[in-house]
Structure 1
Amino acid sequence: MAGRTRVPPSPLEAVREAGFFVQTEATRIALEQSREDLLALRVPAAEQALRDLAERPDGAVAAYYHLATAALLRVFLTDAGEAVAAFDGYTDSLAAALARRPETRWRRYLAAESRLQQALVAAKREKHVRAALLARSAYRQFAALQDEAPDFAEAYKGRGLLKMAIGSLPRGYRRLLRWLGFSGTVEAGLADLEVAAACSRYNREEALAVLGLTEVLMNLEPARGLERFSTLYAWHPDSPLFGYLYGFALLRERQGRRALEVLEAVAHRGDDPAYLYVDYADYYYAEALFLHDRFEEAIPVFLRYAARHPGPALKALTYLHLGLAHEMLGHREEARAYYEKVRATRALDSDVAAERQARLRLVRAMTPLDEALLRVENAFRSGRYAEAEALLATLPVDGARPDVRARAAFWQARLHHALGRFDEALEEYRKVMSLQPNDRDRYAPWSQLYIAAIYEQRGERERARRAYEAALAFGSTYDYHQTLEQQARAALEGLD
């Protein structure tokens, strides 16, 4: 593939049996090219080559597994209903092809992988009971395979993902699952994924991507997660998927300028029919523009995402940002029209918070102080710390409402924290909590979480533990409580 830096071979490759029941060199070469196209997200070309591969005597298993994987990508990246039907069909064809093969570890592995893929699709479609049953079946198959063949590196990705999912659940659910014979922690899942990333021939990129997302989203080792995405992007520079993931991680880690560069490059592939485009890249490119106060440029990109993506993902945030962008440009009536469109169609942190903020903005226009605070937040979240500090120094917060003063103190604390000024950060976080904004605002509980993080960074483990537990004691009425609870539980697990 043009521009790709080859991944060094795994030290275990020489002793592996033929993967996917491939027996001939011609079939192996055809499979490798199809995988190259799939990783680059040239899905139409990959699908055609895989359909041809299915006609080879030793190619059916490999073809149907990767066709199911391509359909899985379409399900998650496009929300298109027809992709689910295609996935179901390829899964059935894979099962039939496997039934004609001898009982080997590759057959058991692919059966477990297929169960895991089906569980992911069921969860995406919110068929939670079916997803749980399929995940249980996959867990048992992976566990048996690892017990029998601990050197079979391909199996570590799937079971690692399942262990990590179990470890992310509340403790009560985990106790029940242990009683039923299923155990797992985030730490154990990450360890299995590390094996897959280092030794697997076919799951290396996927394992690296899951590791990176976990480290970034759960704030475990975000710098390491960002490095993983940088590696994937270097291996596959023309892949919209890895470009999107790298840009997303850069934005999360407040490297706004580099995020803009990467996401803009991905956005330019949006009209190329050779690629399965990642619509989400449009959303995050628009967000990167918004965070740099480039509101006029952000609006058409947000609108493109709203028009192109058929599902509900990120739609509430899209319409909220369109409203805020118009309001920052002085277009109050246009802003109101977009605020009216914000609906929390899913019980996700971001959707619920977006709807609440939109309702607030419908009844209360942004004041000059609100606008200044938004620019402070944008400057901080895009990594423009000097600009954020200068803006904070001029904020006229004396006499403002307690919730406004809490917001100002929160972003001042975040800035101190990011710059390593921990004592000043602790003082500001405590100020936020003393202001006691209403129980829907996130600033007090998140301040408590960041206080815990500072204690942990300082090596004060017992103080950190108590502070994380205090963050979890805030209840579940405030914005982004699910994310806080997940991060706090993962941090407590790491302290055990």
Structure 2
Amino acid sequence: MVPFFVMCLSLFSLNGLGQATASFTPAYKLAHQNITQLRFGDAQAIIKREKKRDPNNRVAAYLQAAMVCAELFVNEDQTHYENNQDKIDSYISQIEDLPEASPFRNLFLGELYVAQATLNGKFKNNIKAAWQFYKAYDFLTDNYERFPDFAPTAIPLGVLYAAIGSLPDDYRSMASLLGFEGSVPEGMKMLETSFERLSADPSLTFYRPYAGFVYSYVSFLLSSNVVTPEALGLDVAKSSVLIYAQAQIELDRGNAKKALEWLDNRPEGEAYINFNYLDYLQGKILLGLDPDRCVSYFERYLQNNTSQVYVKSTYRYLSWYYLLDGKKRKSDEMIENIFLKGENNTGADRQAIIEARHGFNSTLVKARVLFDVGKYTEAEEELLCHSVGHCCSSPIDEAEYYYRMGRIKQQQGRGHQALIWYEKAMTVKGLDANYCLGNSALQTAEILRGSGDVKGAKGYYKKALKYSGFPFYEGIHQKAKAALSEM
């Protein structure tokens, strides 16, 4: 009887020792911040030490999975994702060992399924993405209901709410039938509130860089109230991820020099994983600000990039550089590479093919390059030096001319004049749906909304939703849907 009792007690004790837990020790908090700074080597070293100290702490599995997903986000390598799927699944299995009573269990699982759904969406694995989206929504809504005071849940759940709210009507109806609920305002409010609560809780402030990035970047993609990482009080200079968001927003606001300053001073070296897209982005900005520097960044991107994304687009920009530099033969070589190299899985690469097939118009290219870096007056002068009839021999060039003039006027704060040019673009005959038409409708709606013409704005947001099937139309639709949801 005594040996049996001792054996039962021993088994109970062993089971207790093996209980999976989730605790962000000071070391794991530092590792979490290292990941947002892309210092994966430092994070791995911490995880290795902490796992020896406490092998049952599933924060290790979460952070390791987060590193895999983060690297895939920054470099978009589908082959690397497929090769690491078993590893991610293994980490998820370890996290599933956590007790249901732990709020970290469903949070970790929900975050990782959101990440995988997003990646599979990028790679056009739509069925798998939809299943993972469902899993994430289920885990996170359950967590939000059972642990309403647990602020971290609202970060990934806010992303899901905003994403659902930006879906086109047919997809949103289907999502509603499946039990998905959410809107852009609800999602943005969740992200804002969660960031504020995390910032105020000393035990959770290590989440701020990650939460701030998510909040800022989603606001940039889907909200009319865009907030920068810098405005949130984050230490942007320490993280290339935060610099990425900050630079994108600065560029969108016409502050190309400020965006370039952030990129020029981003942290690089052996301690950091490569964020190759930033070379591509920096090359784009330099094309308009300091053309002689742009080639080295484009070439570095082509050399270091392990995936095939943005390759065609990079050759497009190189072709533009040589075209504007008067080196037509070299420009033609780059055009040939657009067709021969890379893949067409991104909107930028598909657009590069479309434009290369049509042929590059030097006047429109120069105006666009100048516009993209905030040189609005110079871009306008370039267009006005050439009449539409003189420089535009096709309907698509004519629409691009009118559209670019509209964008210039809008950025100069001359909304009424911009409306005239956008209307000209949308009334060019003989055109299939394209980016110029879709964004002309979207920007018209934005101007009307800003002037208080709600009815007119709604009409043009709906018109923007009618243009589809071209590169980047999804982004236009998301913004139009988000605006209608907010209104």
Relative to the length of structure 1, the TM-score reads 0.84
Tell me, in whole angstroms, the C-alpha distance in 1 between the residues paired with 2:380 and 2:276: 34
Shift of 1:86: 4.9
Task: Give the letter for the 1:250 counterpart.
Answer: E
Contact between 1:250 and 1:259, CA under 8 Å: does it hold in 2? Answer: yes
Contact between 2:256 and 2:373, CA under 8 Å: does it hold in 1? Answer: yes
More displaced stretch, 86-95 vs 192-201: 86-95
Aligned to 1:6: none
More displaced stretch, 99-108 vs 62-71: 99-108
Segments of structure 2 that go 5 or more residues without pairing to the other structure are 1-19, 199-203
Tell me, in whole angstroms, the C-alpha distance in 2 between the residues paired with 1:119 and 1:388: 40
- The aligned runs of 1:334-353 (5 Å cut-off) are 334-343=330-339, 345-353=343-351
Aligned to 2:435: 442
Tell me, in whole angstroms, the C-alpha distance in 2 between the residues paired with 1:213 and 1:263: 17
Shift of 1:167: 2.0
* 1:184 pairs with 2:175: no
- The aligned runs of 1:161-310 (5 Å cut-off) are 161-200=159-198, 201=204, 203-218=207-222, 220-221=224-225, 224-225=226-227, 228-231=228-231, 234-266=234-266, 269-270=267-268, 272-292=269-289, 294-310=290-306
Aligned to 2:158: 160
- The aligned runs of 1:8-27 (5 Å cut-off) are 21-22=22-23
Q: Quick one: structure 1 residues 20 and 458, their matched pair in 2 at CA, closer, same or farther if it must change by over 3 Å?
A: farther
Task: Give the letter for the 1:388 counterpart.
Answer: A
Aligned to 1:357: 355
Any idea what the Cα deviations from partners look like across 1:249-293, whole Å, max 9, x if unmatched?
Answer: 222222111111111222xx44x111112111100100000122x
Aligned to 2:415: 422
Aligned to 1:330: 326
Tell me, in whole angstroms, the C-alpha distance in 1 between the residues paired with 2:330 and 2:365: 18
Relative to the length of structure 2, the TM-score reads 0.85
Aligned to 1:78: 75
Shift of 1:35: 2.3
Instruction: Name the % identity.
Output: 23
* 1:373 pairs with 2:364: yes
Aligned residues: 457
* 1:387 pairs with 2:378: yes
Task: Give the letter for the 1:358 counterpart.
Answer: A
Name the structure, 1 or 2, with higher relative contact order (CA <8 Å, separation 6+).
Answer: 2
Task: Give the letter for the 2:22 counterpart.
Answer: F
Contact between 1:38 and 1:46, CA under 8 Å: does it hold in 2? Answer: yes
Tell me, in whole angstroms, the C-alpha distance in 1 between the residues paired with 2:331 and 2:241: 32
Segments of structure 1 that go 5 or more residues without pairing to the other structure are 1-18
Any idea what the Cα deviations from partners look like across 1:2-54, whole Å, max 9, x if unmatched?
Answer: xxxxxxxxxxxxxxxxx9633xxxx7222222223222211111112112211
Aligned to 1:16: none
Tell me, in whole angstroms, the C-alpha distance in 2 between the residues paired with 1:357 and 1:336: 13
Shift of 1:111: 3.3
Aligned pair partner of 2:462 in 465, 469, 473? 469
Q: Quick one: structure 1 residues 218 and 135, their matched pair in 2 at CA, closer, same or farther if it must change by over 3 Å?
A: closer
Tell me, in whole angstroms, the C-alpha distance in 2 between the residues paired with 1:127 and 1:190: 27
More displaced stretch, 65-74 vs 371-380: 371-380
More displaced stretch, 91-100 vs 448-457: 91-100
RMSD of Structure 2 on Structure 1 (CA): 2.7
More displaced stretch, 413-422 vs 274-283: 413-422
Q: Secondary structure at the match of 1:340?
A: helix
Contact between 1:319 and 1:342, CA under 8 Å: does it hold in 2? Answer: yes
Tell me, in whole angstroms, the C-alpha distance in 2 between the residues paired with 1:52 and 1:178: 46
